[in-house]
Structure 1
Amino acid sequence: MTGNTRPGGRTARVRGAVLQAAGDALAEHGLAGLDLADVARRAVVGKTTVYRRWGTVAGLVADLLLDMAEQSLPRADTGSLAGDLRANARLVQRTLSDPRQGALFKAVIAAATSDPRTAEALHGFYRTRIREWAPCVDLATARGEVPAGTDPDEVIRAVSAPLYYRLLASGDPVDEAAADTAAEAATAAARAGVFVR
């Protein structure tokens, strides 16, 4: 076998344990309280392993966000734009209202305001998720549900933006009703041509 990683082998198990521990610590203490030695202790791996592989807290957060993007559920294909956007909104809602995941996102977003490497990792996470869901808008365009030239990325952003606003700014509940309203608003705006480039 070539390379130094084995699918499902020790390397994957160590990475999984470390990322789980990092996410837990980040959700509990925020970025300021994230310490590589503490993450190693929580993950029950050697400190040198963590320092050698991730090097810095920013490197660890970047890998955590990459893993979260990779592990997130794939997009739905319900056969309608309204159904697809509702599925997207409900996925975002479940993530943000989860006690661990919601706290983790708050911590990462706060850290991204002052740490360029964390910001780039966060931007990469959202680029990945938008790429995953944008094809539902292309399919809706092909079905004639929305005008030609509708910007898929902007439609997907319009679904999640109200939910993040509730999480970070207003403190209003991030519940299914909010998710459904966000999806309905984005669908109506897309049908009206608001997102045509």
Structure 2
Amino acid sequence: MSGVPMSAEEKDDACDDPGTVRPGGRTARVRAAVLRTAGDALAEHGFARLDLADIARRADVGKSTVYRRWGTVAGLVADLLSDMAEQSLPRTETGSLLGDLRANAELVRGTLADPRQGALFKAVIAAATTDARTAEALHRFYEIRVAEWAPCVEQAVRRGELPEGTDPYEVIRAVSAPLYYRLLTSDAPLDEAAGVRAAEATAAAARAGVYA
């Protein structure tokens, strides 16, 4: 014990594990401010230059609170990805496989084409190649998003649009794969046509039994 009294902010956070929050109130506002600032910093400077003390300063939050709640940069990025998964838009149901896949492709394309979000994903993907905790968090993010959209493929199978045994997770991954490839390997624009092509190619392959 240091004998130094804790601030009200520190007392409020002392019972929480790093990266966890209690719903509502000031704790939620602190988390939102820190995660928003972390996302901005990732988009601006990348993972390598992310610094907890700088995040605390920019978010106007006590440095000790940030270190106590998240512990490390990797812990902060993991919580950021969890929050992004929670905040992502829900699945769209159009009544047809192609319509659903186009909606999924447009959601992914719009996110990656956004200057802030596209830069943020580039930074996180780059970090995941060298940091195990970031990689684990990124995998969880995509597991959540793919699981959100997999039912549209299952519904298409029940409607007779796709062969029995079609793997819904592989179909959804196939929609976004060319969009991420373009983001990471090319300076070609991520326009609406790119999303349409990704959805139509995936739908055609799924109908042909490629993912069965």
Q: Give the TM-score taking structure 1 as reference length.
A: 0.96
Report Cα offsets for 1:75-97 as digits up to 9, x if no partner. Answer: 11100010000000000001000
State yes or no: 1:34 paired with 2:37.
no
Q: Deviations over 1:99-133 (max 9, x none)?
A: 10000000000011111111111111000000000
Shift of 1:19: 0.2
Residues 14-72 of structure 1 deviation map (CA, whole Å, 9 limit, x = unaligned):
00000000000010000011000111111110000100000000000000000000100
Q: In structure 2, what is the Cα distance between the partners aligned to 1:170 and 1:38?
A: 32
For 2:185, the equivalent position in structure 1 comes to: 169
Q: CA RMSD in A?
A: 1.1
Name the structure 1 match of 2:101: 85
> What corresponds to 1:157 in structure 2?
173
Work out whether 1:137 is the aligned partner of 2:156.
no
CA drift of 1:174 comes to: 1.0
Length, aligned pairs only: 194
**1:99 is the counterpart of 2:115:** yes
Partner of residue 110 from structure 1, selected from 116, 122, 126: 126
Counterparts of 1:66 and 1:56, CA distance in 2:
16
2:144 corresponds to which residue? 128
Cα distance in 1 for residues equivalent to 2:169 and 2:115: 28
Structure 1: gaps spanning 5 or more residues:
none
CA positional deviation for 1:170: 2.3
SS in structure 2 of the partner of residue 182 of structure 1: helix
Q: CA deviation at 1:172?
A: 1.7
Tell me, yes or no, if structure 1 residue 43 matches structure 2 residue 87: no
Which consecutive aligned stretches of 4+ in structure 1 deviate over 4 angstroms post-superposition? 3-6
Does residue 148 of the first structure (1) align with residue 148 of the second (2)? no
Cα distance between partner residues in 1 of 2:75 and 2:149: 26
Alpha-carbon offset, residue 8 of structure 1: 2.5
Shift of 1:6: 5.2
**Structure 2: stretches of 5+ with no match in the other structure:** 1-14
Q: Which amino acid aligns with 2:166?
A: T
Are 2:50 and 1:57 aligned? no
1:171 positional shift: 2.3
Is the alpha carbon distance of 1:6 and 1:125 closer, same or farther for their aligned partners in structure 2, counting shifts above 3 Å?
closer
Q: Distance in 2 between matches of 1:105 and 1:174?
A: 14
Separation in structure 1 between the aligned mates of residue 186 and residue 37 of structure 2, nearest angstrom? 29
The letter for the 2-side match of 1:176 is E
Q: TM-score, normalised by structure 2?
A: 0.89
SS of 1:109 mapped into structure 2:
helix
